[in-house]
Amino acid sequence: MESVVHLQDAGVSLGGRPVLRHVDLLVQPGESVGVAGPNGSGKTTLIRAVATLIGIDRGSIEVLGSHLGATDLVEVRRSIGLIGHQPSLLSELTLAENLEHVARLAGLDVSRVANALDVVGLAGAADRRAEAVSFGMKRRVEIAHLLMTKPRLLLLDEAASGLDESAHDLIHALVGSVCGRGGGCLVVSHDRSQLGELAARVLSLSGGRLERVT
Amino acid sequence: MTFWRQAIEIARVDLVVERRIGNTLRITLPFAVVALMVFPIALGLQLGVVSVVGIGVFWALAILFGMQVALRQSATDTRERRDLQALLGVDPTARFVGRCISGGSLMVGFMLTLLGGMIVLFDPVVPPGAWPVLLLSTLLVAIGLTELATLAGEVTTDLSNRTVLASLIVAPLALPLIIGASQSVAALERDTGILPWTLLLIATDLALAVAGVALARPLEEATR
């Protein structure tokens, strides 16, 4: 069975400074892996490299069975879902319009939007503009987006930070749903307790190196 | 089909956002019209002079304020939005085309409004047959300037001071558009034929379109 993510001796430098060094990481289908590390340890760079949003300088990276560099990234990227530090919503659009925009770009049926908003508890706020809602509500919209697009690889970068308990439950459900479909999850956070809840195994990233398994 | 669906969706949402923010309609356009009014006021009652300089003033303001309209997208583009579009499988070329459609629509509207304002305020003296030429030149400049600014926005993605840098790219490269547009009406006055200048505008527009389409994907990857 092909791996979901496989990094071998991967290295990434940004602005001439090495951020990730000799990283080996394997995420198997149905598995959720956590990576803990302090600020500046390279967690976001790791997520962005796996998301194909930045290239690696050395080693190899395989995502969803495709060796990056030898593949058309567009198809691989369509199967990746990412929740990053900052919400990616357009402030001037309503929550529903943001999801409709996502659905249209992804070639999905727009009628799924209402149901997705309902699932994340935002049915009553569908017509509110993104600029007028809280950070937690924006996060819920991003969860709704991933519920619609059903990624095979889910990447969470401090996604649970600052969220209430019910939003945590939604992220749990999202991770469970992706892993249940045979996909994989990579979750990074500085908070080990969050990772313990979301990942079956947790690695530690320090100084750009994945050091130990807990 | 996916390509055009993505391009049209990007253009549609960009226009919705623009309608709600109102950068062009509520900020740039009123200032451009005020700037247009400065000349007749400054020149007093010398109506002959006002009517002669009208078209020149129009082109100067169209380029100056048109650049603000054209570069408005790159100022609001965030890394998160670009990442989202990449992960949704948006073709960078569709993105470029979509932005050109929305930016071009705004630019054409902006320039035609400015042209109308110039005609009312300056009552310009033009040679016979100049109006269709002026209209065609306005459309070609609007398209070219939008393509150029969209391309400059892509080149300067993720750079600090990107708005300034994009302007510095657009200004010199807009010269063929400025020369072609201003000379097409002047050629009518000299009775030397407008074809070379119209062809210059069309060739510039086509060259920018080809460059934008060809570079969209490499630029998308290179700026990550």
Interface test with A, best of B88, B99, B160 (most A CBs within 10 A): B88
Cα R_g (chain A), whole angstroms: 17
Nearest beta carbon to residue B5 from set A54, A73, A104: A104
The amino acid sitting at A54 is: I
* pLDDT attached to residue B131: 87
Q: What is the pLDDT of residues B100-142, one digit of tens each?
A: 999 999 999 999 999 999 999 888 888 877 889 899 999 999 9
Tokens in use for A129? 């503009």
Q: At a CB cut-off of 8 Å and minimum separation 6, what does A112 contact?
A: A103, A148
Beta bridge partners of A80: A153
Tokens in use for A196? 């313990």
Beta bridge partners of B138: none
pLDDT grade, residue A63 (50/70/90)? very high
Alpha-carbon distances, residue B7 vs A2, A104, B203 (angstroms): 34, 11, 23
Interface test with B, best of A88, A138, A142, A154 (most B CBs within 10 A): A88
- pLDDT at position B45 over 70: no
Quickly count: other Cβ atoms within 10 Å of residue A189's Cβ.
Answer: 23
Q: Does B224 touch chain A (CB under 8 A)?
A: yes
Distance (Å, whole) CA A128 – CA A27: 38
Chain A, 84-123: which have a CB under 8 Å from a chain B CB?
84, 86-88, 90, 92-93, 97, 101-102, 104-107
* pLDDT attached to residue B169: 85
Work out the widest C-alpha separation in chain A, in whole angstroms. Answer: 48
Instruction: For residue B185, count CB atoms less than 10 angstroms from its CB and return exposed for 0-12, middle for 13-18, buried for 19 or more.
Output: buried
* pLDDT attached to residue A30: 94
The amino acid sitting at A32 is: S
Nearest beta carbon to residue A106 from set B13, B86, B89: B89
Q: Are B177 and B147 in contact (CB under 8 A)?
A: no
Q: At a CB cut-off of 8 Å and minimum separation 6, what does B32 contact?
A: B61, B64, B65, B110, B114
Q: Does B1 touch chain A (CB under 8 A)?
A: no
Nearest beta carbon to residue B87 from set A54, A80, A90: A80
Phi, psi at B207, each rounded to 5° = -60, -40
Distance (Å, whole) CA B150 – CA B96: 7
* pLDDT attached to residue B47: 74
pLDDT grade, residue A70 (50/70/90)? low
Distance (Å, whole) CA A11 – CA A22: 6
Q: What is the pLDDT of residues B49-87, one digit of tens each?
A: 888 888 889 999 998 888 888 887 665 677 888 899 999
Query: Can you tell me the ipTM of this complex?
Result: 0.88
* pLDDT attached to residue B191: 78
Nearest beta carbon to residue A51 from set B10, B17, B87: B87
Chain A, 33-72: which have a CB under 8 Å from a chain B CB?
48, 51-55
Cβ of A77 and B20 within 8 Å?
A: no
- pLDDT at position A139 over 70: yes
Chain B, 107-136: which have a CB under 8 Å from a chain A CB?
none
The mean pLDDT of B153-180, rounded to a whole number, is: 83
Q: Does A127 touch chain B (CB under 8 A)?
A: no
- pLDDT at position A124 over 80: yes
The mean pLDDT of A7-14, rounded to a whole number, is: 92
* pLDDT attached to residue B220: 80
- pLDDT at position A28 over 90: yes
* pLDDT attached to residue A127: 95
The mean pLDDT of A150-162, rounded to a whole number, is: 90
Distance (Å, whole) CA A186 – CA B69: 41
pLDDT grade, residue A114 (50/70/90)? very high
The amino acid sitting at A197 is: E
Question: Tokens 């300088």 belong to which residue?
Answer: A57
- How many CB pairs lie under 8 A apart between chains A and B? 67
Distance (Å, whole) CA A54 – CA A27: 19
C-alpha dihedral, B114 to B120 to B124 to B129, nearest 10°: 80
- pLDDT at position A194 over 90: no
Q: What pTM did the predictor assign? A: 0.87
Distance (Å, whole) CA A42 – CA A26: 17
Tokens in use for B177? 């558009």
